[in-house]
Amino acid sequence: SLGITNLSCASRCIPIIRKMISQLNYGKLNHLKEEVLKLKDANEITELLKEKYGSLILEVNAKIKIDQLTHHF
């Protein structure tokens, strides 16, 4: 378990967020946590996350944008 007990998001994003979380690996996240704790600032953390999970983040963002477009009409 990742220890997430509460997560707030728009209901239409739940399937996307659920997919994103299901693709994460606890062992890798624990290692990532150790890397993050060694970094100096938020910019370094952002760059590391883009490097490690950039494609997943882009996929989620794209799905959210498509979902938002289809719900506006």
User: What number of other Cβ atoms are within 10 A of residue 17's Cβ?
Assistant: 14
Burial of 13 (0-12, 13-18, 19+ CB in 10 A): middle
Rounded-to-integer distance, Cα 73 and Cα 62, Å = 18
Q: What is the mean pLDDT of residues 8-35?
A: 82
Residue 37: its pLDDT value, please?
92
Query: Higher-confidence residue: 57 or 71?
Result: 57
Could you report how far apart the first and last alpha carbons of the chain are, in Å? Answer: 38
Quote the radius of gyration of the chain (alpha carbons, Å): 14
Rounded-to-integer distance, Cα 60 and Cα 67, Å = 10
Residue 24: its pLDDT value, please?
80
